[in-house]
Structure 1
Amino acid sequence: MEEDMTTTPAAAVIGVLTASDRASAGIYTDESGPAIEAYLRRVLTTPFRIERRIVPDGFESVRDALIDLADNIGCDLIVTTGGTGPSPRDLTPEATLAAAPRELPGFGELMRKVSLEQVPTAILSRQLAAHRGKCLIVNLPGKPAAIELCLNAVMPAVPYCLDLIGAAWIDTDPAQVKCFRPKPK
């Protein structure tokens, strides 16, 4: 009797974390988190579920949410928005590196490059990417238009990065964003 060796891959768990004092207090409607979620629903073709959080700006709030999403919720990917500028409360990059010390500098370099083609103030953005075990964390700016621009730039590499760190398999609609995976030898 033959065993059925085909298995359906588990759905990826994707965290969407908004860092905003005003949104977390209910003073401002979070537009950035929903923009990330809409982008992912449009671009990804494999099953996934979203775990959304809104926390105040600051080091501990962001760090603790990232650790919880990665370790307790089991996120394969966390996409943050907000807290990447130069103001004193913008501590998302520091919190990310405290939670995920293995930085992947190319992500931040590319996001700044494409953003600088649009606005000169993009040089002030400190977004980055790093991973905590099997969870990739990508910091994005807080404006929906900048989110789309940055995700379009880095998304071609995200699925293969997840493969390399042992996270869930994700794939994209090539008509939206063509992901790159090296051909097997």
Structure 2
Amino acid sequence: MKNNGNDRQLAGPVPAPAYSFAVLTLSDKGSRGEREDTSGPYLVERLTREGYVLQSYAIIPDQLPVIVDALIALVDRQAVDLIVTTGGTGVAPTDVTPEAMLQIIDKEVPGMAEAMRAESLRKTPHAMLSRGKVGIRGQTLIVNLPGSLKAARENIEVVLPVLPHALEKIGGGTADCAS
């Protein structure tokens, strides 16, 4: 068939949809203004640089019902695609992020959490104390990161390469998972 010039070809790949995201810093001192949050703003900047669209950033207390309510609001009312939390993943009595996750997620994604711990373990034996989880509620992926800037930076870099595919699949995409 002859091309009469009316047929157009795409000038490259179709861009991926811009996924929305939220960052929640979980810190009693941070929520009272007694400690500067460095990991939350870093995560906002890093994810924005990757093309994600910020929908919410907040610092909330490390309290189970507050965390549960905040996560539910971001998923069920604001329909955020990706939530990244920072803080509350250790073994201190106030570290309750994993317990909040267990109350609200539909599915765990243990491979992502295991990958973050494995990479962190290459840098410090303290990584064995991290209890962060990754899970899905509805069509939202929730990733728990440690609270320190250094650990949050190292951990987000581990999962960044798989986030677009994970979000596509969670949203009902049918693309194969082959590499």
Structure 1 residue 26 and structure 2 residue 40: aligned? no
Deviations 1:111-144 (A, max 9, x none): 1100011111110011110000100000000111
Larger Cα-atom Rg: 2
Q: Mapping of 1:10-49 within 5 angstroms?
A: 11-42=18-49, 44-45=50-51, 48-49=53-54
TM-score between the two structures when normalised by the length of structure 1: 0.82
The equivalent of 2:142 in structure 1 is 137
* Matching residue's letter, 2:62: D
TM-score between the two structures when normalised by the length of structure 2: 0.84
8 Å contact from structure 1 (residues 134, 165) kept in 2: yes
Unaligned runs of 5+ in 1: 1-6, 169-179
Structure 1 residue 128 and structure 2 residue 133: aligned? yes
Q: Secondary structure at the match of 1:110?
A: helix
* Matching residue's letter, 1:126: R
- Aligned-partner Cα distance in 2 for 1:10–1:152: 21
- Aligned-partner Cα distance in 2 for 1:97–1:134: 16
8 Å contact from structure 1 (residues 111, 127) kept in 2: no
Q: Secondary structure at the match of 1:157?
A: helix
8 Å contact from structure 1 (residues 76, 167) kept in 2: no
Q: Secondary structure at the match of 1:113?
A: helix
The equivalent of 2:71 in structure 1 is 66
* Matching residue's letter, 2:25: T
The equivalent of 1:177 in structure 2 is none
- Aligned-partner Cα distance in 2 for 1:88–1:147: 20
Aligned-residue identity in percent: 42
The equivalent of 1:76 in structure 2 is 81
Structure 1 residue 99 and structure 2 residue 110: aligned? no
Deviations 1:33-58 (A, max 9, x none): 1011121123x13x522311111002
Name the Cα RMSD after superposition.
2.3
Q: Secondary structure at the match of 2:76?
A: helix
Q: After TM superposition, what 4+ stretches of structure 1 lie above 3 angstroms from structure 2?
A: 7-11, 180-183
- Aligned-partner Cα distance in 2 for 1:118–1:11: 33
* Matching residue's letter, 1:155: L
Unaligned runs of 5+ in 2: 1-13
- Give the CA deviation at 1:167: 7.3
